[in-house]
Copies of this chain bind each other. A is one copy, B any other.
């Protein structure tokens, strides 16, 4: 059981920084201190190992997303919460996020791949969450008049982009979450 965990841990790290094809089972085995047959005792295949890791990562991510508030005094609190949550997650599970960023893109052509499914699920969740938030805020007069779906897409893109830069080590500034929140606040809130 402990060895299985070692394999997962090692594989996560290697997949994240070298990609799926760029990581050999040999490397996983050596660096996790196990043996070939043991890997295949615990996992059906290299692909199976990868899938289990990705699924676990997304589940962890989704369970946090689901803890986002559905009712808030001000609608913008939701946006603020969403931005902050994502910045927290990059720090909490950096390897898992790196893994998704690096290894999912080449798989998005296959609509039945776990990566595709989960990324669509994520997008769907964020879309409906933000969409609902913007609609309410707009009709209550809290927000300025913005095109809903496009603004949703923009916010998702913005979060996505900032997370990516952080994860890849291309942006190491502190307090970027606050900056992002203020940037959005100025753009969205009625004055």
Chain A positions within 8 Å of B, measured between CB atoms, are 17-22, 101-102, 105-106, 108-109, 119, 123, 144, 146-147, 149-151, 153-154, 156-165, 168-171, 173, 175-176, 179-180, 182-184, 186-188, 191
Contact = CB atoms under 8 A, between A and B. Distances in A.
A164 to B, nearest CB: 7
Given A161-B162, A170-B119, A187-B184, A179 B147 contact: yes
Contacts of A17: 106, 109
A162 B170 contact: no
5 contacts: A150-B175, A153-B165, A154-B162, A158-B158, A158-B161
B171 A157 contact: yes
Q: Which 3 A-B pairs have the closest CB atoms?
A: A161-B161, A21-B21, A187-B187
A188 B186 CA distance: 8
B153 A173 contact: yes
A162 B158 contact: yes
A109 B162 CA distance: 19
Nearest to A158: B158
B173 A165 contact: no
Contact of A183 (B22, B105, B151): B151
Contacts of A151: 179, 183
A45 to B, nearest CB: 16
B108 A169 contact: yes
Given A158-B158, A161-B158, A187-B184, A153 B176 contact: yes
A154 B21 CA distance: 32
